[in-house]
Homo-oligomer: A and B are copies of this chain.
Amino acid sequence: MAKAQLRSFAKATADFASGVDTPRDFLERCIAAIEAREKDVKAFTALRLVAARRAADASSERWRKGAPLSSIDGMPIGVKDVIETADMPTQMGSALYEGWAPGYDSASVHALREAGAIILGKTVTTEFAATQPGPTCNPHDLARTPGGSSSGSAAGVGCGMFAAGLGTQVVGSILRPASYCGVYGYKPSLGGINRGGSHDYMSQSAQGVLAASLADCWQVAIEIVQRAGGDPGYSGIIGPSTAPEADMPTTLAFIKTPGWGVATDAARKAMDEMIAQLTAADISLIDAQDDPDVAALEALLPETLALTRRINSWESRWPLNTYVDKDESKLSKGMVERLHAAEAMNVADYRRDILRREEIRACFAQLSSKVEACVTLSAPDVAPVGIEATGNPIFAVQGSLLGVPTLSLPMITIGGLPLGLQLLGFLDEDAALFAHAAALENVITPIAIA
Query: Which residues from chain A sit less than 8 Å from chain B, CB to CB?
Result: 86, 103-107, 110-111, 114, 194, 196-197, 201-204, 225-230, 232-236, 238, 314-315, 317-319, 321-323, 325-326, 346-347, 350-351, 354
Q: Which residues of B contact A232 (CB under 8 A)?
A: 201-203, 315
- Chain B residue nearest to A194 in the complex (CB): B318
Whether the pair B203, A318 counts as a contact (CB closer than 8 A) is no
Q: Which residues of B contact A110 (CB under 8 A)?
A: 318, 321-322, 325
- Give, as a whole number of angstroms, the nearest-CB distance from A257 to chain B: 23
A-B contact pairs, 25 of them (CB 8 A): A103-B326, A104-B319, A104-B322, A104-B326, A105-B322, A106-B318, A107-B317, A107-B319, A110-B318, A110-B321, A110-B325, A196-B318, A196-B319, A197-B318, A197-B319, A197-B322, A201-B232, A204-B233, A225-B347, A226-B347, A228-B317, A229-B315, A230-B347, A232-B315, A236-B351
Whether the pair A325, B202 counts as a contact (CB closer than 8 A) is no
Whether the pair A235, B322 counts as a contact (CB closer than 8 A) is no
- Give, as a whole number of angstroms, the nearest-CB distance from A352 to chain B: 10
Q: Which residues of B contact A202 (CB under 8 A)?
A: 232
- Give, as a whole number of angstroms, the nearest-CB distance from A175 to chain B: 21
> A350 CA to B196 CA in the complex, in Å?
17
The answer to whether residues A104 and B323 also contact, given A228-B318, A233-B354 and a CB cut-off of 8 A, is yes
- Chain B residue nearest to A190 in the complex (CB): B233
5 A-B pairs besides A196-B201, A197-B319, A226-B346 with CB distance below 8 A are A104-B326, A105-B325, A111-B318, A196-B318, A203-B232
Q: Which residues of B contact A196 (CB under 8 A)?
A: 201, 318-319
The answer to whether residues A229 and B314 also contact, given A196-B319, A354-B235 and a CB cut-off of 8 A, is yes
> A347 CA to B228 CA in the complex, in Å?
8
Q: Which residues of B contact A86 (CB under 8 A)?
A: 322, 325-326
- Give, as a whole number of angstroms, the nearest-CB distance from A346 to chain B: 7
> A347 CA to B239 CA in the complex, in Å?
11
Question: Which 3 residue pairs are nearest across A and B when measured between Cβ atoms?
Answer: A203-B233, A107-B318, A203-B232
> A229 CA to B353 CA in the complex, in Å?
13
Q: Which residues of B contact A114 (CB under 8 A)?
A: 321
Q: Which residues of B contact A314 (CB under 8 A)?
A: 229
Q: Which residues of B contact A317 (CB under 8 A)?
A: 107, 227-229
Q: Which residues of B contact A228 (CB under 8 A)?
A: 317-318
Q: Which residues of B contact A227 (CB under 8 A)?
A: 317
- Chain B residue nearest to A170 in the complex (CB): B232
Q: Which residues of B contact A204 (CB under 8 A)?
A: 233
> A194 CA to B371 CA in the complex, in Å?
38
- Give, as a whole number of angstroms, the nearest-CB distance from A237 to chain B: 9
Q: Which residues of B contact A238 (CB under 8 A)?
A: 351
Q: Which residues of B contact A225 (CB under 8 A)?
A: 347
Whether the pair A229, B194 counts as a contact (CB closer than 8 A) is no
Q: Which residues of B contact A350 (CB under 8 A)?
A: 229
Q: Which residues of B contact A347 (CB under 8 A)?
A: 225-226, 229-230, 235-236
Q: Which residues of B contact A235 (CB under 8 A)?
A: 347, 351, 354
- Give, as a whole number of angstroms, the nearest-CB distance from A193 to chain B: 11
> A236 CA to B194 CA in the complex, in Å?
22
> A222 CA to B226 CA in the complex, in Å?
39
Q: Which residues of B contact A318 (CB under 8 A)?
A: 106-107, 110-111, 194, 196-197, 228
- Give, as a whole number of angstroms, the nearest-CB distance from A357 to chain B: 9
Chain B CB within 10 Å — which of A104, A232, A354 has the most? A232
Q: Which residues of B contact A105 (CB under 8 A)?
A: 322, 325
> A318 CA to B224 CA in the complex, in Å?
12
Q: Which residues of B contact A104 (CB under 8 A)?
A: 319, 322-323, 325-326
> A254 CA to B221 CA in the complex, in Å?
46
- Give, as a whole number of angstroms, the nearest-CB distance from A51 to chain B: 14
- Chain B residue nearest to A403 in the complex (CB): B233
Q: Which residues of B contact A226 (CB under 8 A)?
A: 346-347
- Give, as a whole number of angstroms, the nearest-CB distance from A204 to chain B: 8
> A194 CA to B229 CA in the complex, in Å?
23
> A351 CA to B201 CA in the complex, in Å?
22
- Chain B residue nearest to A196 in the complex (CB): B318
